[in-house]
Amino acid sequence: MKVPWETNVADMNDYNSALPKMRQYFESGATLPYSFRKKQLTRLLDTVLAYDEQINAALYTDLKKSKEETWATETGLVIQEIKGALQHLKKWMRPQTAPTGLVTFPSSAKMYKDPLGIVLIIAPWNYPLQLMLIPLVGAIAAGNCAVLKPSELAPATEKILFKIIEKSFEDQYVTVVGGNGAEVIPAMMQQFKFNHVFYTGGHLVGKEIYKMAAEDMVPVTLELGGKSPCIVYDDAAIHVAARRIVLGKFVNAGQTCVAPDYVLVQEKVRNQLLDALKAVIQEFYSNDPASSIDYGKIINERRFLKLVSYLKGESIFFGGTHDQAQLYIAPTIITDVSLDDGLMREEIFGPLLPVLSFATTQDAMQIVRRNENPLALYLFTKNKKIQEEWMHKIPFGGGCINNTVWHFANEHLPFGGIGNSGWGAYHGKHSFTLFTHLKPVLTSSTLIDPALKYPPFKGKMKWFKKLIG
C-alpha cells in the first residue's frame, strides 16, 4: 500500500486484504494510548514542515497559488491544527465526570471518549492539502485509523500527500487511496464498513456518499457548499468592506466553499461599493491579474467552461476577460442580475461576483431565503440591532460580521454547514469530538442497596414522585 490502489473496481483484492488489516490493527488497541497519538501528530508535523517547498510547488502547479497564499490558506492552517491538538490532547482525552441524582444514589458517572474505528476522509481539489490533513489531525487525536482519498483533480498535491503519509505512518494505521473517486469510493464502501465517513465537496456527490453510508448505518460528516451571501448596509465602512469582500471572494480565484457568492448592497451605497470593489481589485491584483503572483487559475477546463457560460448575456461592470489556454478568468463584478439567472440559482465557485441592491432588511432576507441554509453569511453594518436580526432569523453554517471567510481560520470555532450546506462540525477540539464516541458509564456502590428500588413497588408511589420528576 505504498502506491495508489488500482481503480479497476473488478479487482477487489487490494481492498479485501488491506482494510481488514487496518481493522485488526485498530482492534489491537495500538492507537489508544496518549503517547502513541502524540507521537503520530508530532511525526505528521515534522513531515509537513519538511515538505514545505514541495507543497508550495504542488499547489502552484495545481492552482497557481503563491507560497504566501499556500501558507496562509493551506500549510499554516494544518500546522496550527496539529500544534493545537498537541497542546490540548491530554485534556481532551480525559473522561468527563457527570452529576448523578437521587434515583441512582449511591453512584458516580463518567463519560469515556472512545475512538470510532476506521474513518474514511474524502477531500476536494480546491484546498487539497488542508481539507485532507485537518480532518486527519482530529481522527488521529481521537485514536482512529484513517483511509484518505485526495482529489485526483489536483494531481501534484495528491502526489505530495502520498509522500507525506508514507513517510509519517505505517500503512495499517493511515493510508492514502489514489484513482478516480467515482470508482474507488463506492468500491471501498460496498466492500468494507467504515465507522465514519468525512466528505468535503459538492452537494450532489455528498448525497450519493450519504446514501451509500446509510446502507450500513455508517455516520457521515458532510462539508458541502451553497450560495453564501454578503450583505452590505449603508452605514458600513465601505472601503474596509470592499477590501474584505475582494479578499474573501477572489482568493484561490474564487474557488472557496465559504467565498461570498454574491453581494446584496443597500441602494444608497451601491455605486460607492462598486467603485470601491473595482479599485481594490486593481490594488490587490494590478491592472493585469493574469500576471499577478497573488491570483490563481481555474482548476481545469471543465470548470473554466462552466464559469464562462455564466458570463453570457450578463452586465459586466468590471473584468470578464478570460483565457482558456491559461485557465484564467479575471476577477469579475456583474450587475443587473436576475434572480432567475444561473448565477443566482447555483453556487458559482469561481471569480464572478454578482452585486444586487436592496432597500430593506426584509427585501434582502427574501433573496437570501431563495437559497436556504448557506454555508456562510457575511454582514457589514455597525447597527447592533440589524446584526442580531440577521443572526437570529437566518440559518447558516457560520460567518462573520464586518469580515469574510476568516471564521474558517479560527481553530476555536466549529466549522460546518446546516441542512443543504452539510452537517457535522470540526476544527480544533471539535475535530476530536467529531471522531469520538462519548461513552457514558454509571458506577454504583455496593455498600448501600436501598430496598425502595426493588419490587414489590406497591405503596412506594409517593417516594417515586419525590425522587423522579
Number of Cβ within 10 Å of residue 282's Cβ equals 15
Q: Which one from 69, 81, 158, 223 is the annotated catalytic residue?
A: 223
For residue 236, the SS3 value is coil
Whether residue 400 lies in the annotated active site: no
Dihedral angle sign, alpha carbons of residues 234, 240, 243, 248: negative
Q: CB atoms < 10 A from the CB of 107, how many?
A: 12
Q: Which of 145, 257, 347, 411 is catalytic?
A: 257
In this structure, are residues 222 and 375 in contact, taking their beta carbons and an 8 Å threshold? no
CA atoms within 13 A on the CB side of 126: 19
Chain-centroid distance of CA 426 in Å reads 7
Task: Tell me if the bond preceding 229 is cis, omega within 30° of 0.
Answer: no
**Closest to 318 in 3D by CA, of 357, 271, 358:** 271
Task: Give the C-alpha separation, 257 to 93, whole Å.
Answer: 31
Cβ–Cβ < 8 Å for 307, 348? yes
Helical ranges in 286-321 per DSSP H:
301-309
Q: How far apart are CA 405 and CA 378, in angstroms?
A: 8
Long-range pairs, 382-388, Cβ under 8 A, ≥24? 382/235, 382/236, 382/237, 383/233, 383/235, 386/233, 386/361
Instruction: Determine whether 230 is an active site residue.
Output: no
Cα angle vertex 419, ends 418, 421, to 5°?
Answer: 65
Active site residues per annotation: 223, 257
